[in-house]
Each structure stands twice: as C-alpha cells, then as structure tokens.
Amino acid sequence: MRPRGRVLKGEGSDMTPLAITVPDLAEQTGKSRNTIYEWAKRETDPLPLRFEKGTRKDGFIVVDEFLSWWSRNSVHYKERFADG
C-alpha cells in the first residue's frame, strides 16, 4: 500500500524517517485520523503533533518524540489487563 502522506527523511534512502504525517501514523497504528487528533488534544501527555507555521492541514510527528510518547502511553502484552 502506498503512503498517503509524506514521511520526512534525512539524507540517504535507508535512513530512519525524521517525521511522519498524521495519515501515515494512522495507517501504521491501525487507528483513525480522528483518534490521532484526539490523542493530541488530551490534557495529560498529549501526542506531540506539530504543524509548520501558517499551516493547518494534517500535521506531523517527529519520530523520536512519538517513540517516547508511545512508550509512556502503551504497555507490554502481559501488562494490558493489570490493575493499577
């Protein structure tokens, strides 16, 4: 499946992406774009969604910031139903 948005990469084709667009993040996580925006609107630990100055469409997430956020907001398989 071809990506709908842009994935910003550093120089060289096999480098890790620097940032990912909302449509691509939604596709990769299996969530809707609305869910991605809801995560960004949360009061506590919102998704670090960014926009270029003067733009309002889609936005992007810096991959390093997303990975840190994802680690804080997800659990390992065995922990998913644990109390607390």
82: confidence class by pLDDT, cuts 50, 70, 90: confident
pLDDT for residue 15 = 72
The reported pTM is 0.73
Rounded to 5 degrees, what angle do the CA atoms 17, 22, 25 make? 60
Which domains are present in the chain? 7-76 (1.10.10.10)
Residues 6 or more apart in contact with residue 50 via CB below 8 angstroms: 19, 59, 60, 61, 62
pLDDT, one tens digit per residue, over 5-60 is 555 555 555 677 899 999 999 999 999 999 999 999 999 999 999 998 998 887 89
Alpha carbon separation from 15 to 2, 33, 37, 58 (Å, rounded) = 18, 26, 27, 23
Q: What is the rounded average pLDDT of the residues 68-76?
A: 94
